[in-house]
Amino acid sequence: MAKLNYLFTSESVSEGHPDKVCDRISDAIVDLFLSHDPYARVAVETMATTNQVVLAGEVRGPESITPDQLVSVARHAVKDIGYEQDGFHWEKMDVKCLVHAQSADIAVGVDAAGNKDEGAGDQGIMFGYACRETPALMPAPIYYAHAILRSLAEARHSGAAPLLGPDAKSQVTLRYENGKPVCATSVVLSTQHDASIDTDAVREIVRPHVVNCLPDGWMCGEPDFYVNPTGRFVIGGPDGDAGLTGRKIIVDTYGGAAPHGGGAFSGKDPTKVDRSAAYAARYLAKNVVAAELADRCTIQLSYAIGVSKPLSVYIDTHGTGQVDEDRLSEVLQQLVNLTPRGIRTHLGLNKPIYARTASYGHFGRDADVDGGFSWEKTDLVPDLRTAFF
């Protein structure tokens, strides 16, 4: 029996968090290759520390893309985030590029040939999830944790909050009653700031962003509103803590409210099912909930490297389903080709749309007119409702 009354917490991190800096650089490199060749293969990791960035990984794409261009992309990404600090500066940092050509052994297993369809870029399991807790059909704790940091970032970039730095973290704990979120019991907000202001000043700068992002009446009591609990956060970003691509996978997905297959997204082109199949699973789950076939839906897909079709398609509507889950699985697989090529075609993933996903979550966003966040569309709803009603 499901627990109905409880507290649940999720965290988010800003675009200036060390790991997110690395995600942004890696995804900007993916976009660079896809802008030159929609079928380029990219698997690039980034490491960042005090005024140092290291790029490593494998690519297959136009030879016209040089290491100098990759270095330039890294600098532009850091500049766009807003790092011009003594310990981490987009122009002064040293960037090492160790990226090399993709392994021929991987390519032969993944590429289409003869009667063989394109295979998955790796083995693995991927999960998608949707629920009715928010308008975006996302779990409420991660939805509001992202919203708070996005609001702070917009204020920083616009000049409305010039004393805040790029590095920040949020954590939101919500009370659930009868299975539904009703209020925040605590909010934690840590943000980098100028040395000229103290914690009390930071608290008042960030307060309206928290209050305005939460639903009316949801703000926690003052003793449970924690702002920079250590008292000082001047040195931040990669100067304060080394960053790596792919370390914030729960922040990237559902904040711990749903399972995660373990694979990171950033730095990978869409032939990698770690990324594309996770997007497809979210797309399917969101459409199931949007079609009112269930109030909650978890979908798992599994793949083997070099094999095109998924090995399994698992659906769990957590006792909220209005239709048979086995039949639902059949219908979804009829509506969407879940091979790597089928997913990329259906969702239009061979485009330079990934740098924007690197912060504030890959899910729960509005679909963009250029194809970004296409997995957030609910265009399957009419077909799903026709199939069952």
What pLDDT score was predicted for residue 109?
A: 57
What pLDDT score was predicted for residue 89?
A: 98
Length of the chain: 389
What is the distance between the terminal CA atoms of the chain, rounded to a whole angstrom? 29
Confirm whether 45 is a catalytic residue: yes
Q: Judge contact between 367 and 376, C-beta under 8 A.
A: yes
Is there a binding annotation on residue 233?
A: yes
Is there a binding annotation on residue 326?
A: no
Q: How is the chain split among helix, strand and coil, in percent rounded to 5? A: 35, 25, 40
CA dihedral 138, 175, 150, 11 (to 10 degrees): -90
What pLDDT score was predicted for residue 297?
A: 98
CA distance 110 to 94: 35
Confirm whether 169 is a catalytic residue: yes
What pLDDT score was predicted for residue 115?
A: 47
CA 174 vs. chain centroid, Å, equals: 21
Q: Which residue has the tokens 């050509």?
A: 101
Given 60, 146, 150, 248, which residue is catalytic?
Answer: 248
Is there a binding annotation on residue 309?
A: no
CA distance 239 to 18: 8
Is there a binding annotation on residue 232?
A: yes
Show the tokens assigned to 165: 């730095």
Confirm whether 17 is a catalytic residue: yes
Confirm whether 63 is a catalytic residue: no
Instruction: Give the side-chain half-sphere CA count within 13 A for 107.
Output: 12
What pLDDT score was predicted for residue 341?
A: 95
3-state DSSP assignment of residue 178: coil
Confirm whether 15 is a catalytic residue: no
Provide the angle, in degrees to the nearest 10, between the axes of the packed helices 325-335 and 381-388.
140
Q: Which amino acid is at 311?
A: L
Structural domains of the chain in order of their starting residue, each with its CATH number: 6-12+147-237 (3.30.300.10), 18-110 (3.30.300.10), 124-132+245-388 (3.30.300.10)
With a cut of 50, which residues of the chain have pLDDT below it?
115-116
Other Cβ atoms within 10 Å of 180 Cβ, number: 12
CA distance 283 to 218: 29
Confirm whether 79 is a catalytic residue: no
Given 8, 17, 355, 363, which residue is catalytic?
Answer: 17
Question: Could you tell me which residues are beta bridge partners of residue 321?
Answer: none
Given 242, 260, 292, 341, which residue is catalytic?
Answer: 242
CA distance 178 to 170: 26
Is there a binding annotation on residue 241?
A: yes
Q: Which residue has the tokens 């390519």?
A: 107
Show the tokens assigned to 81: 């985030």
Confirm whether 233 is a catalytic residue: yes
Confirm whether 111 is a catalytic residue: no
CA distance 4 to 97: 51
pLDDT digits (tens, 9 = 90+) for 130-166: 999 999 999 999 999 999 999 999 999 999 999 999 9
Confirm whether 286 is a catalytic residue: no
Is there a binding annotation on residue 27?
A: no
Confirm whether 204 is a catalytic residue: no
Is there a binding annotation on residue 272?
A: yes
